Amino acid sequence: MGIHAFTEVARQRSRIRGRMAQLRKNVATAQDELAELEQRLAAHDAVLRDMGFGMDPDDFPPVTPTRKLNYFKRGELPKRCLDAMRRTATPMTTEEILHCAVQAKDVRFRTPKDRCNVHEYTHLMLHNYATKGLVVKVGLTHDMPGALMLWVLPQYANKWR
């Protein structure tokens, strides 16, 4: 068994520990699932110890599962963001791009944290698209900490640099 299989077993074990930590909060209602997870955890521990990599399975911290945000279908948010940038043809901040995408779909966020998470995802997506050459970062709104980045499509970038 290679190191990749080992790390995958260790990653699965971390997810199990994270789920166990969540269930311990509601032990009275989840005794059965907790017992099953403890059995699965013991099986993963046995595999990791038998492999003989000299690592303690408890060295891997538990991973807490996060709730998925299903405001947009797969690939829909990036498409809407690029459409918004095409329509304006001027530099836009991440917030403006997200605002246009959210308005086009008429999304109502359940919590402010959900909106913050979608904003963070949009910002990371724009950075990834910039490395691929799909968008260009043309500047900042001002030269102070906390300045907002300005993004534009490559065909309009020469005009704004």
Mean pLDDT within 111-116: 86
pLDDT digits over 36-59, tens only? 888 998 888 888 878 776 777 777
Identify the residue with better confidence: 71 or 129. Answer: 129
- Angle, to 10 degrees, between the axis of helix 3-25 and the axis of helix 31-51? 160
Confidence of residue 28 (pLDDT cuts 50, 70, 90): low
Rounded Cα distance, 77 and 141, in Å: 24
Q: Where are the chain's structural domains? A: 3-59, 76-160
pLDDT digits over 134-158, tens only? 999 887 766 655 568 889 998 877 7
**What is the pLDDT, as a whole number, of residue 117?**
86
**What is the pLDDT, as a whole number, of residue 145?**
56
**What is the pLDDT, as a whole number, of residue 125?**
92
Q: What is the CATH code of the structural domain delimited by 76-160?
A: 1.10.10.10
How far does CA 76 lie from the centroid of its chain?
15
3-state secondary structure of 107: coil
The model carries a pTM of 0.55
**What is the pLDDT, as a whole number, of residue 82?**
92
- Give yes or no for a contact between 71 and 125, defined as CB atoms under 8 angstroms apart: no
**What is the pLDDT, as a whole number, of residue 97?**
93
Please state, for a pLDDT cut of 90, what percent of the chain lies above it: 17
- Give yes or no for a contact between 15 and 41, defined as CB atoms under 8 angstroms apart: no
pLDDT digits over 53-111, tens only? 677 777 778 877 666 668 888 889 999 999 999 998 888 998 899 999 988 888 888 88
What's 17's DSSP letter? Answer: H
**What is the pLDDT, as a whole number, of residue 126?**
92
Rounded Cα distance, 62 and 76, in Å: 32
> Helix count (H) and strand count (E) of the chain?
6, 3
**What is the pLDDT, as a whole number, of residue 143?**
61
- Give yes or no for a contact between 69 and 44, defined as CB atoms under 8 angstroms apart: no
